[in-house]
Amino acid sequence: VTMTDGEGGLPVVRVSTAVASGEVYLHGAHVTSWQPAGAEPVIWLSAESEFRPGAPIRGGVPICFPWFGAGRTPSLAPAHGFARIAPWRLTGASDDDGTVTLTFALTHDDASGAPGADRWPFRFTAGYTVTFGAELTLALTVRNAGDEAFSFEEALHTYLAVADARTATVDGLDGARYLDKTSSGEPRQVLQSGPVTFTSETDRVYLQGAPTTLLDPGSRAITITPENGADTVVWNPWVAKAAAMADFGDDEWPAMVCVETANALGDAVTLGPGESHTLRVTYAVR
Ligand code: BG6
C-alpha cells in the first residue's frame, strides 16, 4: 500500500498484491481501478477525466451523497452531492493474505469547504471501506452525529468496463419497475421485461436492489451483490450525451456501463441522532 501523487497531483492510495491491484483517490474517496490477478481491469475510467479539486472524476466509483442527481425538489447542486468532490481521509489499511482493506472517513467539518456542503448542513460522519481482493467490496456507512434527524440519498456509482455496451446485458431486473430518466419532465415508470439491453441513451432507476449480473458476451460476467440498497441505477450516455460531456471522450461510451447500488428518489434514508446506515456492494468476475 503506497500513497503518492496521482493525476493532477491529487493524492492516491495504490494497492498491489498477488491477489489484486487497485487505487483510490482521497478526492471523493474515489476508486479508479480494481483488477483481480489474472483478470482484465474491471473498473472503467475516462481518458478525458479531470483530476482537480472541485470537479468529479469521470469513471471509477463516484460516491453520490447526500443527494443523487439533482436530488429531490428543489433541485440541488452540484450533481450527485458533495461527497465525490470532498477531501476524504485515509484512516486505515490492512492486508489479509493479499486482500487489502482500506478505510476512509469524511465528516461534516471535512466537507465544509466543498461546493454544495452548505445545502445539507447536518452533522454526520461517513466511513468508507474498500476491499481489493479476488472480489471488490465497497461499504459506505453514514452516521448521524447531530441532534436532529436527517434524510439523504446515496449511490455507489460504479463504471464497469465492457467490450461493447451494445452487446452487453444486465440480468436480474426482469419484472422490476424503473423510472426512465431519458423521458422529459417527471420520469415515466416502466416495467422491465427480460434482461436490460443498450440500444440508445439509457438512464434508469430500477426500484429494486436485488443482485444483478452484467454479461459481456465473449468476455466475462460481473456479478453485483448489493446490501441495503433499494435501487439499481443503470446508465449509458450513448452518442449525443457523451459528445456533450467535456470530461467524457466522444467515442468512449461503448466501453462502459454503469450499474449503481443506490437509495435514491423515494428511497432516501432517514437517520435519527446516533443512528447509522451501511450501503454495501460486492463485485466478482466470472
Ligand atoms: C447517473 C444518472 O447516475 O449519472 C445520470 O442517472 C447522469 O442522469 C450520470 O447523467 C452521470 O452523472 P454526472 O453528474 O457524473 O455527469
What are the CA-CA distances from residue 13 to residues 27, 100, 126, 129, 146 (Å)? 11, 12, 19, 13, 30
**Helix-strand-coil split of the chain, %, nearest 5:** 10, 45, 45
CA distance linking residue 209 with residue 263, whole number of Å: 9
CA distance linking residue 26 with residue 43, whole number of Å: 17
Measured from the CA of 157, which atom of ligand 1 is nearest? 3
CA distance linking residue 284 with residue 120, whole number of Å: 34
111 Cα to the center of ligand 1, angstroms? 21
CA distance linking residue 149 with residue 277, whole number of Å: 13
Under 8 Å between Cβ of 172 and 70 = no
ipTM: 0.98
Average pLDDT over residues 15-43: 98
Model pTM above 0.95? yes
Is the per-residue pLDDT at 252 higher than 90? yes
Q: Is the dihedral of CA 83, 81, 60, 269 positive or negative?
A: positive
For the chain, give the mean pLDDT: 97
The tens digit of pLDDT for each residue in 174-222 reads 999 999 999 888 888 999 999 999 999 999 999 999 999 999 998 899 9
Render the burial of 50-64: b for 16+ CB within 10 Å, e for the rest: ebeeebbbbbbbbbb
Nearest alpha carbon, ligand 1 atom 14: 79
Give CA 219 to chain center in angstroms.
23
69 Cα to the center of ligand 1, angstroms? 6
The tens digit of pLDDT for each residue in 123-178 reads 999 999 999 999 999 999 999 999 999 999 999 999 999 999 999 999 999 999 99
Helix and strand counts by DSSP (H, E) for the chain: 2, 23
Is the per-residue pLDDT at 73 higher than 80? no
Q: 204: Cβ below 6 Å to ligand 1? A: no
Q: 242: Cβ below 6 Å to ligand 1? A: no
What are the CA-CA distances from residue 239 to residues 1, 69, 124, 199, 258 (Å)? 38, 20, 39, 11, 15
Q: Locate 117 and state its grid cell.
A: 456542503
Structure confidence at residue 121 as a pLDDT band (50, 70, 90): very high
Is the per-residue pLDDT at 27 higher than 80? yes
Q: Locate 133 and state its grid cell.
A: 481482493
Pocket test of ligand 1: the residue of 80, 82, 154, 263 to mutate, having most ligand atoms within 8 Å of its CB, is 80
Catalytic residue IDs: 157, 260
CATH number at residue 246: 2.70.98.10
As for how many domains the chain has, the answer is 1
Range of the domain at 276: 2-285
